[in-house]
């Protein structure tokens, strides 16, 4: 089964089971799910979370509780600008400078409260949280199909913030954890932890991408992202 069919299967299942949550429909996005708060709480109880002073998270709805938990725990939080559309393509949220954590961690609040930074300005990131459409217990992750989460990791590997030892995590509904081999390629970032509302899976995955695979990017896509356009010209 290819990635598109897997995505459709998971989106349909979350919608039909009633486990999807706003925004609706779950299709075409990182789906929000019943129990996202519980998954965030379970993640926050792990040793990997406790050891991380700096966290990067995706901006999607199901990881909103994770972003709030990070700031409330005193962790510096980085969030990428959607589609890496700015040259300073990340936003830094410092808990010492934020009074309203609930507002600051929404999509609009990230832009309002976050300081624009480029990857060279970022502190080492010790834990990365990604949204998923599907994942398995081996840590193979399938996103919504645009490739930005994996590209963000590759960009950060080109600088200092992440390396092979950076912990990668996804929080998902149990229905998104498939008991199957999932298609993957060298650009896909494997997940070290898969966290659902009811369990934490340490996958033992390895082999994280070492940087940007320029041959996999069209000239048009590079031109759409100022940071990549600058790197390509250096």
Do residues 169 and 190 touch, judged by C-beta distance below 8 A? no
- pLDDT reading at 234 higher than 90: no
Mean pLDDT of 14-34: 98
Number of other CB atoms surrounding residue 75 within 10 Å: 19
pLDDT tens, 127-172? 999 999 999 999 999 999 998 999 999 999 999 899 999 999 999 9
pLDDT at residue 121, rounded to an integer: 96
Q: Is the pTM of this model over 0.85?
A: yes
**What's the number of CA atoms in the CB half-sphere (13 Å) around residue 186?**
7
Q: Check residues 234 and 91 and name the one with the higher pLDDT.
A: 91
Share of the chain above pLDDT 70, in %: 100
In angstroms, the CA 108 to CA 206 distance is 34
In angstroms, the CA 143 to CA 135 distance is 9
Strand ranges in 43-110 using DSSP code E only, listed in sequence order: 54-57, 76-80, 90-93
Smallest CA-to-CA distance from 156 within 185, 110, 125, 192 is with 125
Mean pLDDT of 103-112: 97
Q: Summarize the chain as % helix, strand, coil (round to 5).
A: 40, 15, 45
In angstroms, the CA 50 to CA 169 distance is 13
Do residues 88 and 117 touch, judged by C-beta distance below 8 A? yes
Q: What is the mean pLDDT of the chain?
A: 96
pLDDT band for position 1 (cuts 50, 70, 90):
confident
Do residues 210 and 163 touch, judged by C-beta distance below 8 A? no
Superfamily covering domain 33-233: NagB/RpiA/CoA transferase-like (3.40.50.10420)
Mean pLDDT of 159-188: 96
Mean pLDDT of 183-198: 96
Mean pLDDT of 181-204: 96
pLDDT band for position 226 (cuts 50, 70, 90):
very high
Mean pLDDT of 29-36: 98
pLDDT at residue 143, rounded to an integer: 97
pLDDT at residue 91, rounded to an integer: 98
Element (H, E) at 215: none
Q: Check residues 186 and 70 and name the one with the higher pLDDT.
A: 70
**In angstroms, how far is CA 166 from the centroid of its own chain?**
13
Do residues 129 and 16 touch, judged by C-beta distance below 8 A? no
Mean pLDDT check: name the lowest of 44-53, 125-134, 157-166, 194-203: 157-166
pLDDT at residue 81, rounded to an integer: 95
């Amino acid at each position: 089964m290819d990635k598109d069919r897997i995505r459709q299967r998971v989106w349909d299942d979350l919608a039909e089971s009633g486990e999807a949550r706003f925004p609706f429909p779950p299709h075409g996005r990182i789906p929000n799910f019943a129990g996202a708060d519980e998954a965030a709480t379970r993640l926050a109880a792990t040793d990997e979370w406790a050891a991380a002073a700096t966290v990067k998270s995706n901006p999607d709805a199901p990881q909103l509780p994770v972003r709030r938990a990070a700031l409330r725990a005193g962790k510096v939080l980085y969030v990428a600008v959607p589609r890496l559309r700015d040259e300073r393509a990340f936003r830094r949220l410092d808990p010492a400078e934020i009074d309203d954590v609930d507002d600051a961690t929404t999509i609009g609040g990230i832009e309002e409260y976050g300081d624009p930074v480029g990857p060279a300005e970022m502190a080492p990131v010790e834990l990365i949280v990604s949204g998923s459409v599907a994942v398995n217990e081996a840590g193979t992750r399938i996103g919504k199909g645009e490739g930005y989460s994996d590209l963000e990791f590759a960009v950060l590997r080109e600088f200092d913030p992440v390396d092979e030892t950076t912990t990668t995590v996804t929080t998902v509904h149990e229905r998104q954890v498939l008991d199957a081999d999932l298609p993957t390629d060298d650009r896909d970032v494997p997940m070290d932890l898969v966290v659902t509302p009811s369990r934490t899976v340490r996958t033992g995955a390895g082999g994280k991408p070492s940087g940007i695979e320029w041959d996999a990017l069209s000239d048009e896509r590079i031109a759409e992202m100022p940071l990549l356009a600058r790197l390509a010209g250096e």
